Amino acid sequence: MKKILFLGVLLISTFSFAQSYKMAIGLKGGYPSLGGLNAKKMLTRSTAAEFSIGGYGGGLYLSGLFELQKPLPEPTGLDWYLGAGPTVGFGNVFYLSANGVIGLDYTFQDFPLNIALDSGPVIQLIGATQLFTWGGGFAIRYALK
């Protein structure tokens, strides 16, 4: 009986959806840039769109990710997410890449601060010497609830 109850609680927590903010705006650093403006908009209870614009080696990049986001049971405000999307770079060289991402997203309950840490593969489609690299980033954002 305890195993069935545990399984039921696990399934409910896995499929229950909660979002701790509607939109978060701030800065994100990592690959492909040392820093840029970042915004994440919750589209539904479990999907989000994340956009970044920033500089890299004398150029400008634009990145967009579609993400699936789910809460973790503890602590409140901690979510995991998985997503993918393109990055386009303009500068000395035009480049286009396909990015994958998996990460953790935490929103403080009593303060409108959101932080996120992610990592994932980058497949360079146009304009790069390496076909496959690995990227990641850290974001700190103001959460609009």
Average pLDDT, the chain: 86
Q: Check if the beta carbon of residue 59 is closer than 8 Å to that of residue 89.
A: yes
Q: What is the model's pTM?
A: 0.82
Which of 135, 102, 131 minimizes the C-alpha distance to 121? 135
Name which of 89, 70, 90, 88 is nearest 80 in CA terms. Answer: 70
Domains of the chain: 2-144 (2.40.160.20)
- Give the model's pLDDT for residue 17: 41
pLDDT at 57: 75
Q: How far apart are CA 98 and CA 54, in angstroms?
A: 17
Kindly report which listed range (4-18, 19-33, 44-58, 122-136) carries the lowest average pLDDT score: 4-18
Radius of gyration of the chain (CA): 17
What's the confidence (pLDDT) of residue 32? 63
Q: 37 and 27 in contact (C-beta within 8 Å)? A: yes
Residue whose pair of structure tokens reads 């932080």 in the numeric block: 115
Of the two residues 76 and 31, the one the predictor is more confident about is: 76
What stretches of 43-94 adopt beta strand conformation (E)?
Answer: 47-56, 59-71, 78-90
pLDDT above 80 (res 16): no
The C-alpha angle with vertex 110 and arms to 28 and 11, in degrees rounded to 5, equals: 80
C-alpha 125/C-alpha 128 separation (Å) is 8
Q: Do residues 65 and 53 lie in contact, with contact meaning Cβ atoms separated by under 8 Å?
A: no
pLDDT (tens digit per residue) in 48-102 = 999 999 987 778 999 999 999 999 998 989 999 999 999 999 988 898 999 999 9
